[in-house]
């Protein structure tokens, strides 16, 4: 299946499937330069895609977050020069959100912009990072501080890649889908009732398409992130980012957002900013999907290494450093009832209390 997402000055074609994606990649007009990671390129489904593309050059980045570094970006740009890439060629990003973030920035910089084709291979990148245009690398100890906003020419969601994901990696993508359901499109919550089998290609396809479409609708209203609309995509992320920081970024983004949504919703109900229905719905959907609702649950699901040496002080300081902070408050998205949201000021001290409360469980 395919759909077209419209932007102020262009559009992105999204293709979801198996043969459809192979066909689209094999019939690309210009030359293709593939950016992938060592952990992805060896998979049989990746070999199949590389085979249909016959890329002019392939660059393998370090795995995961280690790819989002300046020296990795520079060596990728040098490789594009060395391979003779031109502006009309396509940079194909084949991998998870980390690969897409670096490749997106390289494609924006190289010759002031070459075509970008995102081929997300994790559920998180397929249902979230692949559209929206934000790219970036980490710099001077801070996450995503160097980057641009530039939409991909196309997004190819190759179902065999998603179906090959290990269970834990597949589950890492679900909290962002729940976030899109709670904030923007409650029909996603209905799809998640059941609960669905994430190993069923049709279900996976529906979840990814609804999730991407919901995100794209918000992005289209505020592509350059200047009107404050995109803030809704941060639901659960204020506490979630603080938890990631407290764990030294060993706790994955997905479970951090899962616990973040619960901690924020519980506080917002206490403050009278949200209906109890919000917390009940979140507890029920996350519980059915066996996603963590407390830090201790997240740590045990992820394995002890994820939380070894967790520093609550670092997590609390991360709230003070939050980009949305205004004085002693943080301006953040609040869901008052499922599918309805607004921006509210919440005291940092209250959020720090919510973070401490998130550790112990319900
Ligand atoms: N630009 C955006 O809008 C946006 C949105 C959300 C997240 N992000 C970024 O995305 C990154 C996280 O993305 P992620 O969760 O995809 O992580 P990731 O890219 O680090 O990938 C996670 C792991 O999965 C492996 N992997 C990838 N595809 C696989 C497959 N099909 N089978 C088996 N293993 C596979 C990778 O090798 C890696 O070890 C973060 O850096 C985050 O900042 C960006």
Q: Minimal CA–CA distance to 157: which of 42, 38, 3? A: 3
Contact 218, 88 (CB under 8 A): no
Q: For residues 168 and 171, give the distance between their C-alpha atoms in angstroms, rounded to a whole number.
A: 5
The separation between the first and the last C-alpha atoms of the chain, rounded to the nearest angstrom, is 41
Helix, coil or strand: residue 72: helix
Task: List 59's β-bridge partners, or say none.
Answer: 35
17: left (phi over 0), alpha (psi -120 to 50) or beta: left
Whole-number pLDDT of residue 142:
77
Number of other CB atoms surrounding residue 343 within 10 Å: 14
Q: Within its chain, how far is the Cα of 110 from the centroid?
A: 24
Mean pLDDT of the chain: 95
Hey, which of 96, 107, 240, 256 would you mutate to test ligand 1's pocket, going by the most ligand atoms within 8 Å of its Cβ?
96
Q: Residue 22 belongs to what H/E stretch? A: helix 19-26
Give 153 Cα–ligand 1 centroid separation in angstroms.
20
Q: For residues 266 and 272, give the distance between their C-alpha atoms in angstroms, rounded to a whole number.
A: 10
Whole-number pLDDT of residue 147:
97
User: pLDDT at residue 361 above 70?
Assistant: no
User: pLDDT at residue 270 above 70?
Assistant: yes
Overall average pLDDT of the 309-334 stretch: 92
User: pLDDT at residue 88 above 70?
Assistant: yes
Whole-number pLDDT of residue 362:
44
Backbone φ and ψ of 195, nearest 5°: -80, 165
Q: Sheet with 329-337: list strands edge to edge.
A: 325-326, 329-337, 340-347
Overall average pLDDT of the 32-58 stretch: 95
Nearest CA to ligand 1 atom 38: 64
Task: List 35's β-bridge partners, or say none.
Answer: 59, 93
Overall average pLDDT of the 326-330 stretch: 94
pLDDT category of residue 304 using cuts at 50, 70 and 90: confident
Q: Are strands 2-7 and 10-17 parallel, antiparallel or unpaired?
A: antiparallel
Length of the chain in terms of residues written = 362
Q: Within its chain, how far is the Cα of 282 from the centroid?
A: 19
**Helix and strand tally (H, E) in the chain?**
17, 12
Which range among 72-86, 277-291, 315-329 shows the weakest confidence by mean pLDDT?
315-329
DSSP string, 311-359: -HHHHHHHHHT-TTEETTEEEEEEEEETTEEEEEEEEHHHHHHHHHHHH
Overall average pLDDT of the 8-19 stretch: 95
Give 252 Cα–ligand 1 centroid separation in angstroms.
10
Q: Which residues have CB under 6 Å of ligand 1?
A: 37, 39-40, 63-65, 68, 95-99, 101, 121-122, 124-125, 128-129, 132, 134-135, 144, 161, 164-165, 169, 172, 253
Give 274 Cα–ligand 1 centroid separation in angstroms.
32
Local structure of residue 234 (DSSP, 8 states) = G
Whole-number pLDDT of residue 154:
97
Q: Please state whether the peptide bond connecting residue 305 to the residue before it is cis, i.e. omega within 30 degrees of 0.
A: no
Q: For residues 318 and 320, give the distance between their C-alpha atoms in angstroms, rounded to a whole number.
A: 5
Overall average pLDDT of the 299-322 stretch: 90
Q: Minimal CA–CA distance to 215: which of 92, 88, 126? A: 126
Overall average pLDDT of the 192-205 stretch: 92
Q: For residues 159 and 126, give the distance between their C-alpha atoms in angstroms, rounded to a whole number.
A: 10
Give 211 Cα–ligand 1 centroid separation in angstroms.
16
Hey, which of 48, 97, 119 would you mutate to test ligand 1's pocket, going by the most ligand atoms within 8 Å of its Cβ?
97
Nearest CA to ligand 1 atom 21: 96
Task: List 149's β-bridge partners, or say none.
Answer: 134
Give 289 Cα–ligand 1 centroid separation in angstroms.
20
Helix, coil or strand: residue 193: coil
Q: For residues 120 and 112, give the distance between their C-alpha atoms in angstroms, rounded to a whole number.
A: 23
Overall average pLDDT of the 71-99 stretch: 97
Hey, which of 125, 142, 180, 260 would you mutate to test ligand 1's pocket, going by the most ligand atoms within 8 Å of its Cβ?
125
Overall average pLDDT of the 234-261 stretch: 95
Token representation of residue 331:
């301006």
User: pLDDT at residue 131 above 80?
Assistant: yes
pLDDT category of residue 185 using cuts at 50, 70 and 90: very high
Q: Residue 90 belongs to what H/E stretch? A: strand 90-95
Overall average pLDDT of the 257-261 stretch: 98
Which atom of ligand 1 sits closest to the CA of residue 104?
A: 1
Place of tokens 């660059």: 59
Contact 147, 134 (CB under 8 A): yes
Task: List 200's β-bridge partners, or say none.
Answer: none
Whole-number pLDDT of residue 334:
98
């Amino acid at each position: 299946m395919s759909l077209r997402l419209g932007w102020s000055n262009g559009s992105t074609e999204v293709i979801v499937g198996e043969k459809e994606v192979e066909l689209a990649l094999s019939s690309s007009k210009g030359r293709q330069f593939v950016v992938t990671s060592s952990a992805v390129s060896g998979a049989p489904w990746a070999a199949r895609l590389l085979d249909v593309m016959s890329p002019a050059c392939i660059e393998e980045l370090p795995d995961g977050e280690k790819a989002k570094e300046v020296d990795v970006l520079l060596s990728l740009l040098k490789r594009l020069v060395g391979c003779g890439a031109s502006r009309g060629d396509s940079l194909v990003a084949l991998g998870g959100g980390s690969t897409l973030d670096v490749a997106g920035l390289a494609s924006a910089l190289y010759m002031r912009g070459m075509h970008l084709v995102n081929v997300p291979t994790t559920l998180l990148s397929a249902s979230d990072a692949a559209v929206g245009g934000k790219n970036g690398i980490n710099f001077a100890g801070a996450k995503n501080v160097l980057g641009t906003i530039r939409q991909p020419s196309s997004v190819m969601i190759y179902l065999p890649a998603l179906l090959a994901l290990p269970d834990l990696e597949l589950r890492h993508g679900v909290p962002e889908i729940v976030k899109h359901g709670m904030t923007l499109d409650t029909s996603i919550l209905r799809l998640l009732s059941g609960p669905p089998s994430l190993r069923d290609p049709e279900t996976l396809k529906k979840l990814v398409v609804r999730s991407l479409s919901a995100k794209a609708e918000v992005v289209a209203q505020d592509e350059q992130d200047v009107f404050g609309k995109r803030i809704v995509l941060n639901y659960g992320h204020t506490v979630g980012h603080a938890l990631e920081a407290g764990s030294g970024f060993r706790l994955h983004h997905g479970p951090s957002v899962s616990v973040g949504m619960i901690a924020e919703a519980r506080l917002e109900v206490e403050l009278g900013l949200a209906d109890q229905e919000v917390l009940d719905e979140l507890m029920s959907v996350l519980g059915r999907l066996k996603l963590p609702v407390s830090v201790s649950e997240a740590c045990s699901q992820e394995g002890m290494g994820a939380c070894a040496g967790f520093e609550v002080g670092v997590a609390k300081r991360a709230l003070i450093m939050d980009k949305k902070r205004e004085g002693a408050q943080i301006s953040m998205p609040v869901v008052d009832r499922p599918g309805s949201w607004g921006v509210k000021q919440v005291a940092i001290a209250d959020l720090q209390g919510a973070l401490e409360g998130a550790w112990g469980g319900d």
